[in-house]
Amino acid sequence: MLKIAVIGSFSAAAALTFAPLAAADDLTSTLDTEVSALNDIFTVETDLAGDSSDVTAATSSNPFDIITTADISTVQGSGTTAFDYLVYGVDPTAAGLAGDPGSYNVFNGALVEFADALNVEEYALENNGALDTNPADFIGSLTTGELSSLGTATDAAEYFLQYGLGDLAGFLDIPSL
C-alpha cells in the first residue's frame, strides 16, 4: 500500500508540473510576462534618469512603455544623457540610439532578442520541435516569411541569441561576445 501511495504522489506531482505545458496552445502568458518585465526595467531606468514624467505607459494598443514622442529629443538627446547610458550602455552613440525609445530598447534591445530565443524554444518544446512562424508569438518584428526562412527551431533560437549577444556587446561597448 505504501508503494502505491508513493507512486501516486509522483504521478500527481508530474501531472501538476506538466499540466501547464500540455494546456498551453500559445505563448500569450510568456509574452505578457516578458513585456511586463521589460516595462518594469524601463520604468526603473527612466526613474533613475529623472525622466519618468516623459514616459507613456503601455496601453491595449501598445504593450510597451515608451518615451512620449514630444520628449524624445530632451530625454534621449544625442547619446549623452543619463537615459542614454542606462538604456543603450557604455557608448550610446556607438550602440545606436533608437528613433522611438521604449522598453524594447532595454540593454540596447538584447533582452528582446533573448526573450524571442526563449519563445522559439518554448514553442518547440510544446510542439514536437516545430518552428513557430506566428509573428504574434515574438516581441521582435519579424514577418511569417522571415520566421519561416530561419529553418529549424534550433536555427531560429541561435539567430535570436546571436542578435541578442550583438546587442549586448553594443551595450557593453565591446567588439563581440
Give residue limits of the domains in the chain: 28-172
Q: How far is CA 95 from CA 84, 86, 107, 114, in A?
A: 10, 12, 10, 17
Kindly give the confidence (pLDDT) of every residue in the chain, 177 residues in length, as a single tens digit, with 9 standing for 90 and above: 444 443 444 444 444 444 444 445 578 899 999 999 999 999 999 999 999 999 999 999 999 999 999 999 999 988 899 999 999 999 999 999 999 999 999 999 999 999 999 999 999 999 999 999 999 999 987 889 899 899 999 999 999 999 999 999 999 999 876
CB 136 within 8 A of CB 76: no
pTM of structure: 0.82
CB 6 within 8 A of CB 71: no
Tell me, what amino acid is at 110?
Answer: A
CB 41 within 8 A of CB 63: no
d(CA 126, CA 160): 19
Q: Where are the beta strands (DSSP E) in the chain?
A: 55-56, 66-67
